[in-house]
Structure 1
Amino acid sequence: MLRLLFSTLLLAAMPLLAQTTNSTEAILAQENAFWRAYVDGNTPDLSKLLLPDFISVESEIWNRDQVLDFVKKFHAQCTLAPVKIVDPHVTFLTPDIATLVYHATEAPTCGTRTMSGETNISTVWLRRDGRWQMHLHTEYAIPPK
């Protein structure tokens, strides 16, 4: 009887364990999708990843529409090299709220001038209707040494 109870509990826990692993991978996949859309200037895809009440915090605080407008204007005259996520840390605050913290190098080119900078980034992802969407994105540019 005890063996049957243990087996039942183990089988019941398996989906939860799998969900945690898959959710971490899902968060990283969404963050990478965000950067692909941003780098490509693909505002339709980018808008699908951002919640209506999305907020971006950098040197200024912008809402979703301001970010989408900026991306359009930026790509009219500049490009951004692919952004690589380095040393990511995903934490689930609830099953439907996750934070992601990582380091990245951003290298925009405007005309003939390329600027490169190290950045610490954090993102809050919310799962709504089975989809992970970005609620908050912050970037802190690390001053050159």
Structure 2
Amino acid sequence: MDKNILAVMVMIILLGTGCAAKRPVLYPNELYRSGGAEKARQEIDSCLKLAEEADTQGRLAEEVAAKTGKSALVGGATGAVVGAITGSALRGGLIGAAAGGTAALVSSAIKTPEDSPVFRRFVEICLYEKGYQVLGWQ
């Protein structure tokens, strides 16, 4: 393997792991090698922007709300059963609902738009149409 290609791949991996936002990692095909890493980065940025403008992660908020609601329901039901056994079904249900909803909301809050499968697929197709090959996301 050419030392320049290896150096570029290592640089991409290091840059990808140093940032909070996940980015696609490209296979160093002929287009990538001829245009260079900077051109590839610009193309990635362009596709990421198009995906944001297309609101491909719009369903992420709906998914968070649904997951939070379901977890609150499960937590409430579980808490009510435990509360009934220990003497206060209402109190147990309220505590369980609050705990379940909060746990789901916090776990969903750490997701980024890049975690949306639709967002990722949009970017991958955009890059494919430009001639790039996505290996994965980091």
TM-score, structure 2 normalization: 0.26
Q: Determine which structure has the larger strand proportion and give its number.
A: 1
- Write 1 or 2 for the structure with the bigger share of helix: 2
Bigger RCO (CA 8 Å, 6+ sep): 2
